[in-house]
Amino acid sequence: MSAPGDTTPFRVDAAALLDEVQLFQERLATGVGLLRGLDKVTPGGTPREAIYREDKLTLYHYRPERPQPGLGPLLIVYALVNRPTMTDLQADRSLIRGLLAAGLEVYLVDWGYPDAGDSGLTLDTYVNGYLDRCVDAVSARHDGTPVNLLGICQGGTLSLCYAALHPGRIARLVTMVTPVDFQTPDNLLGAWARELDVDLLVDSMGNIPGGWLNWVFMALKPFRLTGQKYVDLVDLVDDPAAVRNFLRMEHWIFDSPDQAGEAFRQFVKACYQQNALVNGTLELGDRRVDLANVTMPVLNVYATADHLVPPSASLALAGRVGSDDYTEYAFRGGHIGIYVSSRARKVPAEIVEWIAARADVPAREETGLGKGGKKRDGKKRKKKGAKGGKKAKRKAGKAAS
pLDDT tens for 25-39 read 666 666 666 666 677
Whether residue 364 is predicted with pLDDT greater than 70 in this model: the reply is no
Locate the domains of the chain by residue range: 49-397
Whether residue 309 is predicted with pLDDT greater than 80 in this model: the reply is yes
Whether residue 385 is predicted with pLDDT greater than 50 in this model: the reply is no
At residue 377, the pLDDT reads: 33
Which residues are known catalytic residues?
153
- Which stretch of 75-84, 250-259, 383-392 has the lowest confidence by average pLDDT? 383-392
At residue 340, the pLDDT reads: 82
- Which stretch of 59-63, 149-153, 175-179, 215-219 has the lowest confidence by average pLDDT? 215-219
Mean pLDDT of the chain: 84
pLDDT tens for 15-67 read 776 767 667 666 666 666 666 667 777 777 899 999 999 999 999 999 998 99
Average pLDDT over residues 300-322: 95
**pLDDT > 70 in the chain, percent:** 81
Reported pTM: 0.84
> Could you tell me the pLDDT band of residue 369, with boundaries at 50, 70 and 90?
very low
Q: Can you identify the CATH homologous superfamily of domain 49-397?
A: Alpha/Beta hydrolase fold, catalytic domain (3.40.50.1820)
Whether residue 370 is predicted with pLDDT greater than 80 in this model: the reply is no
**pLDDT > 90 in the chain, percent:** 59
Q: What is the 3-state secondary structure (H, E, C) of the chain?
A: CCCCCCCCCCCCCHHHHHHHHHHHHHHHHHHHHHHHHCCCCCCCCCCCEEEEEECCEEEEEECCCCCCCCCCCEEEECCCCCCHHHHHCECCECHHHHHHHCCCCEEEEECCCCCHHHCCCCHHHHHHHHHHHHHHHHHHCCCCCCEEEEEECHHHHHHHHHHHHCHHHEEEEEEECCCCCCCCCCCHHHHHHHCCCHHHHHHHHCCECHHHHHHHHHHCCHHHHHHHHHHHHHHHCCCHHHHHHHHHHHHHHHCCCCECHHHHHHHHHHHHHCCHHHHCCCEECCEECCHHHCCCCEEEEEECCCCCCCHHHHHCCCCCCCCCCEEEEEECCCCCHHHHCCCCCHHHHHHHHHHHHCCCCCCCCCCCCCCCCCCCCCEEEEECCCHHHCCEEEEEECCCC
